[in-house]
Structures are given as structure tokens and as C-alpha cells.
Amino acid sequence: MRRQGGEPGIDAPISTYICTIDVPDIDEYLKQIQNHGGKVTMEKRSIPGIGWLAYCLDTEKNIFGIMQPDMSAR
């Protein structure tokens, strides 16, 4: 679905739920996102005992998250 309003400003705070999807290999998905015109807005970070999380923007500047489960993440 296309965005119904204007794009958020560069310094606009996040004021909504960020849809986050499970991926098997976060590094590979980050490469693919960038190869298809998306941008990484928060580099991969560990959530100890849970996994790896990163935030990205799609080509319409919608923010979304990707997460790789990894109980050994530190």
C-alpha cells in the first residue's frame, strides 16, 4: 500500500510500531536491502541471548526491522 501522507522528516521521531521480520541471515538480508535501493538506518546490533536486530528504510522511506534469532548473541 502506498504512503497516504508525506514522507517523514529526516529528524522526525519514530512514533509508530516498527514492523520487524525474522530472517535467517541478517548480513545477507542487509546486503540485499541495499542492493534493491533500501537503506540501513541502524546497523546490526546484538540483543544478548535473543539475536541480531537492524532497522532499514524501503524505497518509499518506510522504516522496518529485520531480526536474526541467535541465542549466542552477545
CB burial of residue 66 (10 Å; 0-12, 13-18, 19+): buried
CB burial of residue 73 (10 Å; 0-12, 13-18, 19+): middle
The residue range of the domain holding 62 is 20-69
Residue 64 lies in a domain: yes
Looking at per-residue pLDDT, the higher value among 10 and 57 belongs to 57
Residue 6 lies in a domain: no
pLDDT digits 0-9 by tens, 19-64: 999 999 999 999 999 999 999 999 999 999 999 999 999 998 889 9
Domain total of the chain:
1
Nearest CA to 57 out of 39, 33, 69 is that of 39
| CATH number where 39 lies | 3.10.180.10
2, pLDDT greater than 90: no
CB atoms within 10 A of CB 52: 19
**Residue 2: half-sphere exposure toward Cβ, Cα within 13 Å:** 3
